[in-house]
Amino acid sequence: MREFNIVLAGVGGQGTLLAAEVLGTAAVKESLNVRVSEIHGMAQRGGAVVSDVRIGEGVLAATILDEEADVLLGFEQIETLRNLRYASEKTLVIMSDERITPTELTAKNVPYPNLKEIKAKINRFTKKIIAVETARLAREAGNVLTQNIVLIGALAGTGKMPVKDENIMAAMCELIPRKYLDANVKAFKLGYEYARKSKAKS
């Protein structure tokens, strides 16, 4: 495999960086060459966070160029839109239904766009989109803070990830504290099945 590029986009506090670390660690366990980027933006106080995970023998630099993402993993809807420059018609967008209103929208009294509007904007770049009910699935898993792992599960469930599911699970076991592990494993499985069903419908 020459290269596989994942852009993770969200806001501080959503677990974007942990998700990137899980994917990077899983790739290492698969004996693949991997680069995980630094954060762009501010990781605290709801600031935008973007992380790149690049896997493959052709990968040298840590950052992804515009239109080069194979997957855009969106942890928040508007942050997904903000990072569409990385998308092209080949890109699969896996997006949470989470809505965290940016301060600039609040300040200007601009309403948050609805999901139909957001999907229409994404469709200008790619028709491949899965919107995941992360909050519902995380609650079902027993911890609303597992939405990031729901998305990781959804990515695995598409079959696009060049890493075996068991290595993703092994990375989670390594990186997530034991007391939170059961809920995260359940979140992964729920996200996985959600994506499998979404794929079957499309």
Cβ proximity of 57 and 2 under 8 Å: yes
User: What's 130's DSSP letter?
Assistant: E
- According to the model, what pLDDT value does residue 86 have? 97
Give the pLDDT confidence of 184-195 residue by residue, as tens digits: 999 999 999 999
**Distance separating alpha carbons of residues 30 and 114, to the nearest angstrom:** 39
pTM value surpassing 0.85 = yes
pLDDT of residue 46: 66
Question: What length does the chain have?
Answer: 202
Q: What would the pLDDT profile of 156-167 be if each residue is shown by its tens digit? A: 999 999 999 999
**Boundaries of every domain in the chain:** 4-201
- Predicted local distance difference test score (pLDDT) of residue 110: 87
Which element (helix H / strand E) includes 167? helix 165-175
For 4-201, give the CATH class: alpha beta
Let me know: does 9 contact 69? Beta carbons within 8 Å: no
- For residue 132, report the phi and psi dihedrals to the nearest 5 degrees: -105, 135
Euclidean distance between CA atoms 32 and 53, whole angstroms: 12
pLDDT of residue 201: 57
- What per-residue confidence (pLDDT) applies to 166? 98
Instruction: Report the distance separating Cα 86 and Cα 150, nearest Å.
Output: 22
Tell me, what's the pLDDT at 45? 59
Distance separating alpha carbons of residues 198 and 157, to the nearest angstrom: 10
Rounded distance between C-alpha atoms, residue 178 and residue 181, angstroms: 5
Side chain identity at 61, as an amino acid letter? A
At residue 49's C-alpha, the angle toward residues 32 and 80, to 5°, is: 90
Place of tokens 């989670």: 172
pLDDT of residue 107: 83
- DSSP code per residue over 35-98: EEPPPEE-SSTT-EEEEEEEESTT--SSSPPTT--SEEEESSHHHHHHTGGG--TTPEEEEE--
Element counts in the chain: helices (H) and strands (E)? 8, 7
Positions of the chain with pLDDT lower than 70, given as ranges: 40-46, 200-202
